[in-house]
Chain A
Amino acid sequence: MTATTRDKAVAEKAATVEFRRLRREFGKTIALDGLDLAVRPGELLALLGPSGCGKTTALRLLAGFEHPDAGEVLVDGQDVTGVPAHRRDAGMVFQSYSLFPHLSAVDNVAFGLRMRKVRTAERRARAAVLLELVGLGDKGERFPHQLSGGQQQRVALARALALRPRVLLLDEPLSALDAKVRLTLREEIRRLQRELGITTLFVTHDQEEALSMADRVAVMRAGRLEQCAPPSELYGRPATAFVAEFVGTMSRIPGHLDGTTVEVLGQRLPADGEVPATPEVDVLVRPEAVHVAAEGQGDARVVATAFLGATTRLTVRMADGVEIKADLSTHEAAALAAGTAVRVSLPRRPVLVAERAH
C-alpha cells in the first residue's frame, strides 16, 4: 500500500467530534462545567487555557480514560460515552514519554496492529512506512532510551496514527521538549495532520503554539468554553476580556464609558461588542495598536524598553501610574529611551472594554 492511498483512506472518513454539556467533577474540583464544543471534520482544534481549566479532562473523556458525570461525547454523531477506551478509535500522544521501553521504535508503532492480530510481516512493514512518514525511517530498531525526546514523540505520533484512528488526540505533546525541537515538531505535526486530513484535538497551555498551529482555537476557563474561533479572530476580536488577556499581550487603560462610546486618553472611541453596565471601565489594547510619540510636555514617561528584533516593546507609565505596553518599530523606538516624556494615543477604531479590574 502506498502512502497516498492510505492518506486518502484516512481523509475520506475524517470524523466530527462533539462535546455536549460535559460535566466532570473530581471531589470538590469541577474540571468540566457544562462544556459544549464541536470539532469539524479534518480540522486541527487547539484546546487552550490555563492549567486546571479542564482541557486535558476533555481530551481524556474523548479518549475514554475518564467518564463524564453528565453530558455526552459524540464522534460522527454517535454517542461513544459508553465505549471503552480500546474501542474508541482515537490515537493519542501523551505529554510524558509514553513509548513502551521494552520495544524498539518499529515494534512500538506496530503495537496497535499486534493487538488487532495483524500478521508480523505486514505490521512491521506498515510500521516502517509510518516511521518514514515521521522522518525516522532509519531509527526503527532503536529502543526508546536510545532516542532523543523529540524522536520519542515522533515515534509516539506514528504509533498513534498506526491504527488509522478517526481522531488524533495530542495532550501537550511538545511541552517536555526544548524550544528548538518544539518549533520543528510543531510544523511537522501540522504538515502530517494536513496531509492525512485527520480530525485532531490538541491540548496546550502555550498560546503561541495554539495560534500558530490550529485551524481554530477553543479557549477554556474553569471548565467552560470562553470562545472558539480561528486564531486571527481570537486575537483581533476576542469575545471576552479573559480571552483578550489570555491570548497575546493586553494593556488595560482606565476609561469612562458613556453609552456606546468610551473616553480614554483624551479620545472618544466607539466601544466594541458587549459593554459592561458600569461607567468606570478598562479599555483593552494590544501593544501594536498603541501610538507613542515623544512630546516634551507629555505626562507619560517611558520606563523600560525591550528589544525584540524588528520591533521594540516600550513600557510607558502614565501620570496616574497605569503602565501601557507598546510595540514600535525598532527604528522609531530608537529616539525613545527610558525616561523620555511621551504622549500615548490610540487609533480611531472600536476598542474592547471590560469591567474595571480591582
Chain B
Amino acid sequence: MARLNPWRWCVLACAGLYFLVPLAASVVFTVDVPGQGVTFDAYTHILSADGFLSSLLLSLELAAATIAAVLLLMVPAMVALRLGAPKLRPVVDVVCSLPLVVPPIALAAGMGTVLKWGPEHLSRTPLFQTFVAIQNPSFPFVLVLAYVVMALPFAYRALDAGLRAIDVPTLVEAARSCGASWPQALVRAVLPNLRGALLNTSFLTLALVLGEFTVAQLLGFQPFAVWIVTVSGSQAQLSVAVSVLSLLVTWALLLALAGFGGRSRTASRG
C-alpha cells in the first residue's frame, strides 16, 4: 500500500468528512430527542411500525424476481452474442443503454398510460386478466418488468466486463472437445468463470430495486422506498432511522455477497 503522506491524509479526511458528516447528522437526529436525551426509541419502533415488514419483504421479493429475470435474460443473450454475432455488440450496447437516457418518470408515465388504456380496450379478452394479475398489490409483477428494463445498463456493463476477461469461444470449444454438450459447456465451463460478473450484476440490481422510488410511487405500489417517504410525513425520526438502517442493511448485503464470492474462490483454490 502507498504511504500516507500529509497530502493524502488531507484528501482522505476531506472525503471522509463528506461522507460521514451527513451520516453522523442522521444518526444524531434519530437518537437525540429534544427533552429526552439520547434514546434509541426510533430504532426500536421500526419493527413495530405499520407497514415496515410488509414493504421491506415486498422490496426483497421484487429484487429477487428482478435479479432472476435479468440474469436469465442477459447471460444467455450475452454469451450467444459473443459466440454467434460479435458484430451485433454495438447494437446491443446501445439498446441496453437506452434506459439510462429515458428518465424513470417518463417510463412510469408511459406504463401508467398503458395500464389504464389496456383494460378498457381488452376487457373482453383473456388479456384483461393478465393486466389485473400483473398489478396484484401483494406482488406487482409490473414493477419487475420496469426494474428489469432499468437494470439493463448495469447488468450489461457488469456482464460485458466479466465476459471480456475470458475467451468464451475457446472455453466452449475446449469443453465440447472434452465431451460436453452445449448446455454442459455453458454451465460447467463458462458460468463458473463469470462468478464475479454475476455477483456484480445481482448486487447492482438489488441496490437499484431497494432504492427505487419513482416508478413504484407513480404506479401506486408501496415497496420499501415508498414506505420510507410515506412514513417521513408523520414520523420524521422513524423514517430517518429506517434510512440509516437500510444503508447498513445494504452494506451488510454487499459484504455478504462479496464475502460469499471471495470465500468460495479461495476455498476452491486451496
Residues of A within 8 A of B (CB): 63-65, 84-88, 90-92, 94, 96, 98-104, 111-112, 114-116, 143, 156, 159-160, 162-163, 169
A112 touches B167 (CB 8 A): no
1/0 contact string of B192-235 vs chain A (CB within 8 Å): 11010000000000000000000000000000000000000000
Q: Which of B168-190 contact A (CB under 8 A)?
A: 170-171, 173-181, 184-185, 188-189
Task: Tell me, in angstroms, the Cα distance from A104 to B265 when the chains sit together.
Answer: 12
Question: B176: which of A86, A96, A102, A162 is its contact (CB, 8 Å)?
Answer: A86
Question: B178: which of A64, A84, A115 is its contact (CB, 8 Å)?
Answer: A115
Question: B171: which of A87, A100, A104 is its contact (CB, 8 Å)?
Answer: A100
Task: Tell me, in angstroms, the Cα distance from A102 to B264 when the chains sit together.
Answer: 11
B87 within 8 A of partner (CB)? no
| A146 and chain B: residue at smallest CB distance | B269
B193 touches A100 (CB 8 A): yes
The 3 closest A-B pairs by CB, nearest first: A112-B178, A92-B177, A98-B174
A98 touches B176 (CB 8 A): no
Interface of B is mostly: helix
Q: Kindly list chain B residues whose C-beta atoms are within 8 Å of the C-beta of A162.
A: 178
29 cross-chain CB contacts under 8 A: A63-B177, A85-B173, A85-B177, A86-B176, A86-B177, A86-B179, A90-B177, A91-B177, A92-B177, A94-B173, A94-B174, A98-B167, A98-B170, A98-B173, A100-B171, A100-B174, A100-B192, A100-B193, A101-B193, A102-B192, A102-B195, A102-B268, A103-B192, A111-B188, A111-B189, A112-B180, A115-B179, A159-B178, A163-B178
Q: How far is the CB of A17 from chain B (nearest CB, A)?
A: 15
A96 touches B167 (CB 8 A): yes
Q: Kindly list chain A residues whose C-beta atoms are within 8 Å of the C-beta of B192.
A: 100, 102-103
| B195 and chain A: residue at smallest CB distance | A102
Q: Kindly list chain A residues whose C-beta atoms are within 8 Å of the C-beta of B81.
A: none
Most central of A64, A99, A115, A169 by chain B CB within 10 Å: A115
Task: Tell me, in angstroms, the Cα distance from A63 to B170 when the chains sit together.
Answer: 13
Task: Tell me, in angstroms, the Cα distance from A337 to B175 when the chains sit together.
Answer: 58
Task: Tell me, in angstroms, the Cα distance from A65 to B171 when the chains sit together.
Answer: 13
Q: Which of B139-195 contact A (CB under 8 A)?
A: 166-167, 170-171, 173-181, 184-185, 188-189, 192-193, 195
Query: A143 and B269 in contact (CB under 8 A), knowing A90-B177, A159-B178?
Result: yes
| B167 and chain A: residue at smallest CB distance | A96
Q: How far is the CB of A152 from chain B (nearest CB, A)?
A: 12
Q: How far is the CB of A269 from chain B (nearest CB, A)?
A: 50
| A145 and chain B: residue at smallest CB distance | B269
Q: How far is the CB of B215 from chain A (nearest CB, A)?
A: 37
Q: Kindly list chain A residues whose C-beta atoms are within 8 Å of the C-beta of B269.
A: 104, 143
Task: Tell me, in angstroms, the Cα distance from A98 to B188 when the chains sit together.
Answer: 14
Q: How far is the CB of B191 from chain A (nearest CB, A)?
A: 9
Q: How far is the CB of A78 from chain B (nearest CB, A)?
A: 18
Task: Tell me, in angstroms, the Cα distance from A159 to B166 when the chains sit together.
Answer: 19
B170 touches A163 (CB 8 A): no
A92 touches B174 (CB 8 A): yes
A102 touches B193 (CB 8 A): yes
Q: How far is the CB of B177 from chain A (nearest CB, A)?
A: 4
Q: Kindly list chain B residues whose C-beta atoms are within 8 Å of the C-beta of A160.
A: 177
| A60 and chain B: residue at smallest CB distance | B173
Q: Kindly list chain B residues whose C-beta atoms are within 8 Å of the C-beta of A86.
A: 176-181, 184-185
B179 touches A100 (CB 8 A): no
Q: Kindly list chain B residues whose C-beta atoms are within 8 Å of the C-beta of A88.
A: 177
| B184 and chain A: residue at smallest CB distance | A115
Q: Kindly list chain B residues whose C-beta atoms are within 8 Å of the C-beta of A84.
A: 181
B180 touches A115 (CB 8 A): yes
Q: Kindly list chain A residues whose C-beta atoms are within 8 Å of the C-beta of B185.
A: 86
Task: Tell me, in angstroms, the Cα distance from A320 to B154 when the chains sit together.
Answer: 69
B175 touches A101 (CB 8 A): no
Most central of B176, B177, B185, B189 by chain A CB within 10 Å: B177
Beyond the given pairs A64-B176, A100-B189, A112-B180, 5 more chain A to chain B contacts, judged by CB atoms under 8 angstroms and listed by A's residue number, are A92-B177, A111-B188, A115-B184, A115-B188, A116-B179
Most central of B174, B175, B184, B269 by chain A CB within 10 Å: B174
Q: How far is the CB of A119 from chain B (nearest CB, A)?
A: 16
Q: Kindly list chain A residues whose C-beta atoms are within 8 Å of the C-beta of B184.
A: 86, 115
Q: How far is the CB of B10 from chain A (nearest CB, A)?
A: 38
Question: B175: which of A111, A143, A169 is its contact (CB, 8 Å)?
Answer: A111
Q: Kindly list chain B residues whose C-beta atoms are within 8 Å of the C-beta of A65.
A: 173, 176
Question: A96: which of B170, B188, B189, B193 is its contact (CB, 8 Å)?
Answer: B170
